[in-house]
């Protein structure tokens, strides 16, 4: 459904992406991980054309996004994005953060947009907080509003750019839970994250990105049981130390699965 072919991107002399290719199928969840500076966030910005590739192709449902004359605004409306630092609109209440895209981009009438926004906030368990401004919400709550904002546009695919890495540890769980829920409901997702518990629970494939190239790819099982390259082993070992406490979540998720 979404295909990126031989993507290259540089900023000045710095070559950030060096020929990245992969494909995401319908209702699939891809997890991209790797050390910082490996080009993960750049890759996401290239996919939704906020920052187009220098060379290469991006196809969304067989439509070439790099074709000249394409309406990028319409394309971006079909690709949701959730940001590391939430990037909520500070002057708008939670409900308006979600409904503004519906009003301005999808041109829905006011009441309809509001009803839909309420539904989305309900889905991320933020129904009580609709009239709060972003500054009045915790990081985890803000990120859930951010997810509701992306969901409301009913995009073909949602890109998550390290959605939990700016959060205090005790707030990560609530955001991951929401992400698990929407992944299970059949949303196509590309998630840049180091939450291995989340990856294990829902990822159909994981990509290890280092220095602008995909070093290794495979199922969560593959990475956690028998990763091939030394670089990946080393990185996962570090993650285990950093994120070890989240094995709990993984366990809980697996239990739910088996029910």
Partner 1 sequence: MVETPDLPSIFFYILVNGLPLTLLLTALGLLGGFFLGLSLAIMRVYGGKDLDLVSSGYGKVLRGIPLLVLIYIFVFGIPGIFWFIDPLMRPLFGVILALALRSGAYQSQLFRGAILSVDPGQMMAARAMGMSQFQAFRHIVLPQALRLAIPSWSNEYAVVIKDSSYAYAVGIIEMLKVAFRVSANYPLLWAPTMGVVAILYFIFTYPITRIFGERQTKKLKKLGMGGG
User: Is 76 a binder of partner 1 (CB under 8 A)?
Assistant: yes
Q: Is 73 in the site for partner 1 (CB under 8 A)?
A: yes
Mark 139-165 as b/e (b = at least 16 C-beta within 10 Å): bbbbbbbbbbbbbbbebbbbbbbbbbe
HSE-CB of 106 using CA atoms within 13 angstroms: 22
d(CA 43, CA 54): 12
First to last CA, the chain: 31
Measured from the CB atom, is 76 or 233 closer to partner 1?
A: 76
Binding mask 143-162 for partner 1 (x = CB under 8 A): ---x--xx--x---------
Nearer to partner 1, 76 or 252 (CB): 76
Site string for partner 1, 101-140 (x = CB under 8 A): x--xx---------------------------xxx-----
Q: Is 69 in the site for partner 1 (CB under 8 A)?
A: no
Among 1, 5, 66, 77, binds partner 1 (CB under 8 A): 77
CA distance 177 to 191: 14
Alpha helices in 57-209 (DSSP H): 72-77, 94-104, 110-123, 139-152, 169-184, 196-202
The answer to whether the CB of 188 falls within 8 A of the CB of 158 is yes
Residues 48-67 that bind partner 1 (CB under 8 A): 48, 50
Residue closer to partner 1, measured from CB, 91 or 259:
91
Beta carbons of 207 and 30 less than 8 angstroms apart = yes
Out of 36, 69, 90, 225, the residue judged to bind partner 1 by CB under 8 A: 90
Tell me the window of 59-67, 73-81, 176-184, 210-218 that interacts with partner 1 (CB under 8 A).
Answer: 73-81
**Of residues 100 and 236, the one with the C-beta less far from partner 1:** 100
What are φ and ψ of residue 189, in 5° steps?
-140, 140
Q: How far is the CB of 41 from partner 1 (least distance, A)?
A: 11
| Closest of 32, 6, 2, 27 to residue 17, by C-alpha | 6
User: What is the spatial distance between Cα 259 and Cα 252, in angstroms, rounded to a whole number?
Assistant: 11
Q: How far is the CB of 76 from partner 1 (least distance, A)?
A: 4
Q: Which residues bind partner 1 (CB under 8 A)?
A: 48, 50, 73-81, 83, 85, 87-91, 100-101, 104-105, 133-135, 146, 149-150, 153
């Amino acid at each position: 459904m979404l295909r990126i072919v031989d993507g290259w991107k540089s900023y000045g002399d710095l070559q950030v992406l060096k020929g990245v290719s992969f494909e995401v199928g319908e209702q699939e969840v891809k997890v991209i991980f790797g050390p910082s500076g490996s080009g993960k966030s750049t890759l996401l910005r290239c996919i939704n054309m906020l920052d187009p590739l220098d060379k290469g192709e991006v196809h969304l449902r067989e439509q070439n996004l790099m074709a000249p004359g394409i309406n990028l605004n319409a394309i971006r409306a079909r690709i949701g994005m959730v940001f590391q630092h939430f990037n909520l609109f500070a002057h708008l209440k939670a409900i308006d953060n979600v409904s503004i895209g519906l009003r301005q981009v999808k041109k829905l009438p006011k009441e309809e947009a509001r009803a839909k926004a309420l539904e989305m906030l309900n889905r991320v368990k933020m129904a009580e907080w609709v009239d709060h401004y972003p500054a009045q919400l915790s990081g985890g709550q803000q990120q859930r509003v951010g997810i509701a904002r992306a969901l409301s546009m009913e995009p073909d695919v949602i890109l998550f750019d390290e959605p939990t890495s700016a959060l205090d540890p005790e707030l990560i769980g609530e955001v991951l839970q929401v992400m698990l829920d929407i992944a299970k409901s059949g949303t196509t997702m590309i998630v840049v994250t180091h939450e291995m518990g989340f990856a294990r629970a829902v990822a159909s494939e994981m990509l290890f990105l280092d220095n602008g190239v995909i070093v290794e790819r495979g199922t969560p099982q593959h990475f956690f049981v028998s990763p091939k390259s030394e670089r990946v082993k080393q990185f996962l070992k570090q993650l285990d130390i950093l994120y070890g406490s989240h094995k709990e979540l993984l366990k809980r998720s697996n239990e739910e699965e088996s029910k």
